[in-house]
Amino acid sequence: MGALKGRDLLSMADLTVDELHELLQLAAQLKSGKIQLKRQKILGLLFYKASTRTRVSFTSAMYRLGGQVQDLNPSVTQVSRGEPIADTARVLDRYLDILAIRTFDQRDLETFANYAEIPVINALSDLEHPCQVLADLQTVQESFNTLAGVTLTYIGDGSNNMAHSLLLGCALAGMNIRIASPVDYQPLESIVQKAKAIAHDRVEITVTPDPIAGVKSTQVVYTDVWASMGQENLAESRIPIFQPYQVNEALMAYADKAAIVLHCLPAHRGEEITDAVMEGSQSRVWDQAENRMHVQQALIASLLGAE
Ligand code: CP
Ligand code: NVA
């Protein structure tokens, strides 16, 4: 259970294939069972962006393990007045056992991880959202009883955190991944190359501007908002660019008949996904949201080396 003891999770690529499978196995056990940390531990949440699921699921996960949570609102701490991250990290390290951070710049996470001995978890950055992808993979596993060989299509903003972590996560899981997004919104080439290096030709990794080709016969249709947190001023201008990538019933007709629909949430109904698809029989979004709690419980237990 303590396979990740003392480590950080800043990127999906921080896990090996075996570690990913062990975490998902533990999450599945935790969904129907219970473990307690041997010693009282404290999780800190330092969130520079809004959050419902991540904040509450991490809190509930820690409580279920018998631990405690400190919600460190940046606006009432000295970080909002410019105290350097390197200093903040060394101080928080003395008070907490584990720290989850939601921030803009991935480099802030790396600085925290460099200066704090305790495990640091990426609870979303502009670059990646690994905790969400762990829950997504648990949901795919529950739906298809396997991950290997399943094809997932992410449709929408291919340049955002979800697209990047899904590329890496699917490559680790042995799943084929297609990213269907407008030409100016495709994933970072460095992430695509990293995913290909992880996959070793075991899986197909495709980036296409064609939404229909992307969705054709796929088994998992995944979407996310067209403008992420911090990009609110671009939301209006992006609508016409992304409209052809809306997950609606017409697009779903091209997917496999047994395909499931995932969305990390929060969703903008009528933009990236229609109400009918979100509420339809193929949607697994509520199970997906629930799995955040189980998989993060497994992650905390593993990073803390709980026996
Ligand atoms: N999916 C997700 O991370 O949701 P929150 O922004 O509500 O945490
Ligand atoms: N891409 C979205 C994900 C929210 C969970 C964002 O960063 O706002």
pLDDT digits over 134-153, tens only? 999 999 999 999 999 999 99
Instruction: Using DSSP bridges, classify how beta strands 42-47 and 68-71 pair: parallel, antiparallel or unpaired.
Output: parallel
Task: Quote the CA–CA distance of 281 and 290 in Å, as a whole number.
Answer: 17
pLDDT for res 267: 98
Q: Are residues 24 and 157 in the same domain?
A: no
Residue 189 within a domain: yes
Output the CA–CA distances (angstroms, integers) from residue 305 to 1, 36, 90, in the order listed: 7, 12, 21
Separation in Å, CA 66 to CA 36, 86, 167, 238, 291: 6, 30, 34, 44, 19
228 lines ligand 2 (CB under 6 A): yes
Q: Note the pLDDT of residue 38.
A: 82
* Res. 52: pLDDT tops 80: yes
**Mean pLDDT (whole number) for 195-205:** 95
Domain co-membership, 149 together with 95 = no
What are the beta bridge partners of residue 223?
Answer: 155, 263
Residue reference for tokens 């419980």 = 297
Q: Residue 1 above 70 pLDDT?
A: no
**Whole-angstrom Cα distance, residue 83 to residue 41?**
26
Q: What is the total count of domains within the chain?
A: 2
Same domain, 170 and 257: yes
Q: What is the predicted pLDDT for the residue at 39?
A: 86
CA distances from 297 to 185, 238, 300 (A): 33, 36, 5
Catalytic residues: 102, 129, 132, 224, 264, 292
Tell me if 122 CB under 6 Å of ligand 2: no
Ligand nearest to the CA of 47: 1
For residue 35, the model assigns a pLDDT of 84
Work out the pLDDT band at 37, boundaries 50, 70, 90: confident
Claim to verify: residue 281 and residue 138 sit in the same structural domain: yes
Strands (E) in the chain, as ranges, are 42-47, 68-71, 98-102, 120-122, 151-155, 176-180, 205-208, 220-223, 260-263
Ligand 1 centroid, distance to 200 Cα (angstroms): 31
- Residue ranges making up the domain that contains 106: 12-128+292-304
The answer to whether the CB of 297 is under 6 A from ligand 1 is no
Same-domain pairing of 173 and 64: no
pLDDT at 3: 83
Let me know: does 19 contact 4? Beta carbons within 8 Å: yes
**Residues recorded for the chain:** 307
In this structure, what token pair is assigned to residue 31?
């969904």
Q: Are residues 160 and 276 in the same domain?
A: yes
- For residue 201, what pLDDT is reported? 86
What pLDDT, on a 0 to 100 scale, did the predictor assign at position 213? 98
Bond preceding residue 266 cis, omega within 30 of 0: yes
Query: What would the mean pLDDT of 269-284 be, rounded to a whole number?
Result: 98
54 lines ligand 1 (CB under 6 A): yes
Does the CB atom of residue 168 touch ligand 1 within 6 A?
A: no
Residues in Cβ contact with 157 at an 8 Å cutoff, skipping those fewer than 6 apart: 163, 181, 185, 224, 225, 226, 227, 228, 238, 242
Contact 277, 283 (CB under 8 A): yes
Instruction: Determine the average pLDDT of the residues in 174-190.
Output: 98
- Residue of 125, 128, 264, 290 to mutate, ligand 1, most atoms within 8 A of C-beta: 264
| Nearest to 167, CA basis, from 12, 3, 10, 8 | 12
**Residue 218 belongs to domain with CATH number:** 3.40.50.1370
d(CA 246, ligand 1 centre) in Å = 20
Is residue 4 situated within a structural domain? no
**Whether 29 and 66 share a structural domain:** yes
- For the stretch 158-173, pLDDT in tens is 999 999 999 999 999 9
Are 221 and 259 spatial neighbours (Cβ–Cβ below 8 Å)?
Answer: yes
Helix 53-64 and helix 285-303, axial crossing angle in degrees, nearest 10 = 50
- Residue 307: the pLDDT is 53
Strands 260-263 and 220-223: parallel
Query: How many Cβ atoms from other residues are within 10 Å of residue 126's Cβ?
Result: 18
Whose Cα sits closest to atom 7 in ligand 2? Answer: 228
Query: For all residues of the chain together, what is the average pLDDT?
Result: 96
* 225 CB within 6 A, ligand 2: yes
- Note whether residue 5 is domain-resident: no
End-to-end CA distance of the chain: 6
Q: What's the pLDDT at 160?
A: 98
pLDDT at 33: 84
For residues 95 and 20, state if they share a domain. Answer: yes
Tell me which ligand sits closest to the C-alpha of residue 160: 2
Structure tokens at 70: 């400190």
Which atom of ligand 2 is least distant from the CA of 231?
8
Q: Which residues pair with 273 in a beta bridge?
A: 247, 269
| Mean pLDDT, range 19-34, rounded to an integer | 93
Tally DSSP H helices, then E strands, for the chain.
12, 9
47 has a pLDDT exceeding 70: yes
Q: Give the residue, by CA position, lying nearest to ligand 1 atom 3.
A: 54
Task: Report whether residue 161 contacts ligand 2, using a CB cutoff of 6 Å.
Answer: yes
